[in-house]
A and B are shown apart, each in its own frame.
Chain A
C-alpha cells in the first residue's frame, strides 16, 4: 500500500521565520517519485518539485529547500525567511496519485 502522511494540519508563523513542512511516505516500490505542490488561496495547485527515489540530493531553489531521506522515508520542505505570499496549502505526493492531507501554512506580517 502507498501512503503519504503530513502530520501538520496547520502551521502559523510570523514573516521572516523559517518553517519546515513534514512529509512521510510509505511504499514498497523501489522506483518512485515524490512531489510537492502549492495551493494558494486562489485554489489552483502548482507544482513545486519532483524527486525520484534514486536521487537523494537535497534541492534548493531560492528560499525553498527540500530534504529527501530514504532511511526515514521523509521528504521535508523548508521555507527560509517566510513571506506572506507563502501562505497556502502545501501537498506532498507520492507518484502520480497519492497525496497527503496537506498542511495549511499561514504567514503573518
Chain B
C-alpha cells in the first residue's frame, strides 16, 4: 500500500520558534510538494522538488524553506514561526509531471 506519511498530525508552537515538518514517501517518486490549506483558499503551493537537493518556489514561499537530502524525504522548515502560519500543511508526491499526486494526512499547525 503506497504511502505518504507526515511526522505529526497536530503541532502547537510558539511565535519565533523554528519548526520542522517532515514528509516521507515510500513510492520512489521523483516529485514532492508542500501545500498549505486554508478555508476558502484551497491548496496553495509553498515549495516543490523534482529531484534530490532540487527545490522550486511555489506561490507562497515567504517564511518557509525546504530540504530534500534523500529522495524519499521532503522537509518544510518555518525559520521563525508566526501566527499567520497557523494552517493545515499537506505533503504530496508524484512520479512525474502530470501524474496523480498522493497526499499525506496533513499536519495541523497552530502557532501561538
- Residues of A whose CB lies within 8 Å of any CB of B are 6, 9, 33, 35, 37, 42-47, 50, 52, 91, 93, 95-102
Contacts of A101 in B (CB 8 A): 40-42
C-alpha spacing A43/B4, complex, angstroms: 13
Number of B interface residues at 8 Å Cβ cutoff, please give it. Answer: 25
Chain B's nearest CB lies how many Å from the CB of A34?
A: 10
Q: Report yes or no: B33 in contact with A96, Cβ–Cβ below 8 A.
A: yes
C-alpha spacing A94/B90, complex, angstroms: 17
Q: Mark B83-99, 1 if CB is under 8 A from A, else 0.
A: 00000101010100111
Q: Report yes or no: A97 in contact with B33, Cβ–Cβ below 8 A.
A: yes
Which B residue sits closest to A34, measured CB to CB?
B98
- B74 CB within 8 Å of chain A: no
Q: Report yes or no: B102 in contact with A47, Cβ–Cβ below 8 A.
A: yes
Contacts of B31 in A (CB 8 A): 96
Q: Per a CB cutoff under 8 Å, which of A43, A46, A52, A100 touches B42?
A: A100
